[in-house]
Chains A and B, each alone.
Chain A
């Protein structure tokens, strides 16, 4: 049994099939990349898995249990956490409180020990311990993305969905972000990441899934994807030959 499994997942926005008949799976401990051109349905797929949207038709199973009708907060408490493409932080609250929310509500009783100590650990883990009491809105974009990661990790997830946490980062920040993803994997958390930064995707992922116009067009190791004809066509256009 796979940790997470999607069968024929589909959703329409008006007449447009944003995600169309996509099958996918996740196994424990992997880092999976989700790539595709803009508008391919990557974030929509995250929204479907995390409960922001409901597939119709299609079903999503987490540890064999159907989750596609559950509200977002329940899915989070079961162990699937996410970050957002456009950062959604609690701007007027200090960084610590942003993370505390995840711990108090997401982990929901999974944390028996001291909450404050656990928040401190998480902030150290993502490298934000020195700005713990700063209002979240005052931080740089790179740091705000890390708040989201810390908040998601605070919910004690088994699966973490990272939506473009590396977009808009400078080269130094990019290296740090890649290190962070590797550290998260070492914690035993299964990671799915949407990313346009190919260097990051190729460097970290065990497996890559490619979406285009809502359909899965390829799946495989980074090696297989870079040589896949369909993928090259989608990214570079059809060859004349």
Chain B
């Protein structure tokens, strides 16, 4: 008996109770029985508690080296640092699905508690939908990827893994585990999957509200207002998760880049794209009562894409069409995705007559049209990325030949569409709601366009000859100038109205209308991220060389001198650290320390730890590619990555902007007084 047996029982109970909760919630709502609805609500809390207990037993087993548990034996080892033992839960299929279920329960419990006194008619269906999603993941964990299985020696001597051993089997406890995949032993890997999962599972809450709105026929703008923050926060987590994944790739994979458009990365990007479209288009519904069907479709797509991404990356279907049936996970996800797609489609068609738009467009040149275009472009990027991700198995299936779709494909296809998106992002805030007359257009666009042309001219004058680089940076200037103009005019108007000093006017402007100005800060974050991408994409320089101590290698204006190699012992690896002096323009600016880790459990797979000297202008990025003897000769790859730091600074601005946009406020928002979270969420 190990502690994980308790976890297994808890999961079985969680499955039973979540099914019970679905039934009583729906019954209670249909028959109008508040006791049943309350029982369904309590089921959410209890299921959440049970899944937490189960996860705790796995953490206990991991931290206490209970190697009889198969998941622990295959994903941990005695010498693994405690933090990585803790993070090993999401270092493998079965554990990560359990962790996913735990976070999903966390969101379900939080939403259930938050709305406990509100929306009595929507609530039971929200609970039932949340429990439905939980029940699915609990089922997958119990029947397809069970982390509670233990190792046994069967009577014929074979080692098997099972929760309940066959007759005559004796417990098998390995002396040590096989260790955690070395690629995952990095600090970004502790936090990045957590962020990503929080984004994925959090989007279930707005989806559940959409389902409840469709079932009850309460299709006004209430559900949209209720879930604004419940969408923005998971959207932020998803965005942070994606960027942190890039940071991991940047420091751990050692190819000078951060995003390879591989299926796992694309799987996280797909729902982010539709979610981004959704958080913009619900503004139109709030203000104008338009795009009701479209919003229902976007949140549907977003949620299905979170599942689809999981399906893609865990079923093995992307590696080869033939691996689909090897694990029951693929078929289970496929059935669930198709079933929920069809069920939602039926609901949507049934309710179409109630989803009529309250308004029409007033003019082609309006904020509404810009939002609509932005939405369509996001969906186009999503479809193009989905096609690129799926085309490899499709082509293999049709032609029998293996092909690959990597960076060059996605950059050629998505690059121009992203540029269009950037221009819309710049233009939208400059267009007025309803319609923009010629005078407004001239007044709002003059400055940003002038700034754009000036920037392009300056870049050319200072010697930049890369057309894509010039166009990209000029587009960033266009968007940025528009945002600055919005801030300046807002502050001016406020000072004019109140006579406040400059700084106070700025602070109050942002505080009183966090949704608009927080949104602009998010846009500034996106611009910074785009700047980093453009820098790395178009202006990276690199060089590789074999050096003996004292020899130098030059890349762009940076000269590196190899000083020597040292070996030291880490907790579960040997660390080889090379030391290089960095000189820029003849001046010494410091040292970089590229490393190789050779893990005890995976000596054949040495891991790269990049030597990095980050800077606002450029990063010096050094990879120790190999060495001979004790470092008498070492091979280095050196990259100069311009503007990369802005990617990570932009991430901070995303967080800041979303915090401002979601911060509870006393004063009514400027954009629309009706846009607040209603009732008790906001004290009057």
Q: Answer yes or no: are A and B bound together in one complex.
A: no
* Residues on A facing B (Cβ under 8 Å): none
